[in-house]
């Protein structure tokens, strides 16, 4: 039965059954459970909501009278303000578990679905990979286990400034990715996280100056490169030579599929290009030999299903070390992308016009030309790629490594076949063209 008397230690000790209310504190009572334990209880109606709040604190004397009254006073403050402490507790539990790593996992789901930015379009596999790389390399080690609601601007600026001391370009990429991530977490698109304050708003002020990369390889360096490459395994030769002959990006080469090559044309689908425009490359005889594969992938991995993606920079380092031995002096570092710049830098010397040179790199047209001029430059690109292949073959022959690199022998025209072809053309030509040809003869 319920008793109304002063809530004291002796009164609680004397309680054998029923409930003892605290006349000094609304909602607080202590009752004897079926097991004989004396348990603190709070029961009150929440203002404006009409719900009954019924909570347990724990046993007496583990929780003293004073502790129970402090607990009850906090509940009364919330109940009288119309706040349900249970909902608040669930939100607090969510806050404790919403680390930066967990929030980023939700963000990556939105990235794959195209909900991470106002553009609302799915991101390419390359973009997704870049975002994951930045997180795993630069964000997770320092902030991954931190509660995202506790992150402030100084945490982010310290991260970016530390990266800027060793890699300015990567620091800028990190700042850009942090801005996108935290802006998503603080927007309606990221309401699963529900960040109320975006600490990344001013990160654009930290942009480090970037020096445009201008590295290209000279003909002499290309010769040393081919000589050094001749000592690598065949698949490494194939991949690196395709960088050189196609002027494609490294990801486009190493992730190429065999079904992308049809009738001597390698078409990189829009989903794998940087500008979302499909890019066709007419391969010469050597290029066709290099890209030929009996596997789903042009350059399949050795131990797992998929393309060979993780070896190339280590292979580049080995090749560069051999180049320096051949040259007898240090050689400036180069990247796979520098082969694109090398090919583009040779276009004028090989009498290639600007538009063809840009099409050869799959650069988009600008302004109204981009909208109205849809000419594809297929024949012009074909001529360039064949001409560039012959240029590289000539360097390989001069360097003495053509056979080691699998350069196919030149096709020697058959004089009799050429003669028959010319006679056939003469017979099929219009009368005025035949007369002109006879006069020249």
Domain ranges for the chain, please list them.
Answer: 2-84, 98-206, 219-399
Eight-state DSSP code of residue 147: B
- Cα–chain-centroid distance for residue 283? 29
CB 21 within 8 A of CB 4: yes
Eight-state DSSP code of residue 99: B
How far is 98 from 148, CA to CA, in rounded Å?
Answer: 6
How far is 344 from 359, CA to CA, in rounded Å?
Answer: 10
Burial (CB count within 10 angstroms: exposed 0-12, middle 13-18, buried 19+), residue 8: exposed
Round to the nearest angstrom and report the end-to-end CA distance of the chain.
130
What's the pLDDT at 424? Answer: 47
Q: Which helix (H) or strand (E) holds 364?
A: none
β-partners of residue 32 are 38
At 406 the three-state DSSP class reads coil
CB atoms within 10 A of CB 440: 6
Flag residues of the chain having pLDDT under 50.
1-2, 424-426, 428-429, 431-441
Strands (E) across 215-356 are located at 261-262, 265-268, 279-282
What pTM was estimated for this model as a whole? 0.64
> What sign has the CA pseudo-torsion 430, 432, 434, 437?
negative
Eight-state DSSP code of residue 50: -
Eight-state DSSP code of residue 40: E
Eight-state DSSP code of residue 16: -
Express each pLDDT in 21-64 by its tens digit. 999 999 999 999 988 999 999 999 988 777 898 999 999 999 99
> What sign has the CA pseudo-torsion 44, 48, 50, 56?
negative
Return the percent helix, strand and coil in the chain, to nearest 5. 55, 10, 35
Q: What angle do CA 74, 79, 84 make, to 5 degrees?
A: 100
Q: What angle do CA 145, 152, 149 make, to 5 degrees?
A: 55
At 273 the three-state DSSP class reads coil
For 173, residues 6+ apart whose C-beta sits below 8 A from its C-beta are 130, 134
What's the pLDDT at 413? Answer: 58
How far is 166 from 199, CA to CA, in rounded Å?
Answer: 24
How far is 246 from 263, CA to CA, in rounded Å?
Answer: 16
CATH topology of domain 2-84: Double Stranded RNA Binding Domain (3.30.160)
For 172, residues 6+ apart whose C-beta sits below 8 A from its C-beta are 207, 208, 210
What's the pLDDT at 428? Answer: 46
Domain 219-399 CATH class label: mainly alpha
User: Could you give the strand order of the β-sheet that contains 38-45, starting from the edge strand earlier in sequence?
Assistant: 2-4, 19-21, 28-32, 38-45, 52-60
Domain 98-206 CATH class label: mainly alpha
């Amino acid at each position: 039965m319920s008793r109304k008397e002063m809530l004291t230690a002796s009164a609680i000790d004397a309680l054998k059954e029923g409930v003892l209310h605290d006349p000094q504190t609304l909602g607080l009572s202590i009752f004897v459970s079926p097991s004989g334990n004396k348990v603190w209880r709070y029961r009150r109606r929440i203002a404006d909501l009409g719900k009954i709040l019924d909570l347990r604190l724990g046993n007496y004397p583990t929780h003293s009278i004073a502790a129970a009254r402090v607990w009850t006073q906090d509940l009364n403050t919330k109940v009288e303000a119309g706040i349900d402490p249970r909902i608040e507790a669930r939100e607090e539990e969510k806050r404790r578990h919403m680390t930066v790593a967990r929030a980023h996992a939700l963000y990556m789901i939105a990235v794959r679905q195209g909900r991470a930015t106002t553009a609302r379009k799915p991101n390419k596999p390359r973009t997704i990979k870049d975002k994951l790389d930045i997180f795993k390399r630069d964000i997770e080690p320092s902030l991954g286990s931190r509660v995202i609601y506790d992150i402030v601007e100084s945490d982010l600026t310290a991260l970016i400034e530390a990266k800027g001391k060793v890699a300015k370009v990567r620091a800028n990429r990190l700042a850009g990715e942090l801005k996108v991530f935290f802006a998503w977490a603080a927007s309606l698109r990221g309401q699963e996280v529900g960040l109320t304050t975006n600490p990344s708003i001013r990160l654009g002020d930290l942009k480090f100056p970037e020096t445009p990369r201008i590295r290209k390889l000279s003909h002499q360096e290309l010769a040393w490169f081919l000589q050094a490459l001749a000592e690598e395994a065949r698949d490494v030769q194939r991949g690196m030579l395709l960088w050189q002959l196609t002027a494609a990006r490294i990801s486009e080469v190493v992730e190429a599929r065999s079904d992308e090559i049809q009738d001597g044309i390698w078409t990189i689908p829009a989903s794998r290009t940087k500008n979302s425009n499909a890019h066709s490359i007419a391969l010469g005889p050597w290029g066709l030999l290099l890209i030929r594969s009996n596997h789903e992938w042009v350059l399949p991995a050795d131990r797992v299903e998929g393309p060979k993606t993780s070896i190339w920079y280590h292979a580049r380092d080995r090749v560069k070390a051999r180049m320096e031995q051949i040259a007898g002096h240090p050689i400036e570092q180069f990247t796979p992308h520098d082969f694109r710049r090398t090919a583009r830098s040779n276009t004028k010397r090989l009498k290639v016009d600007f538009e063809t040179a840009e099409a050869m790199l799959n650069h988009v047209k600008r302004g109204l030309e981009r909208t109205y001029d849809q000419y594809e430059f297929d024949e012009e690109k074909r001529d360039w790629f064949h001409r560039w292949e012959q240029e590289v073959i000539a360097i390989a022959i001069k360097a003495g490594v053509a056979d080691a690199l699998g350069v196919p022998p030149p096709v020697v025209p058959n004089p009799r076949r050429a003669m028959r072809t010319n006679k056939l053309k003469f017979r099929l030509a219009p009368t005025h063209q035949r007369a002109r040809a006879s006069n020249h003869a």
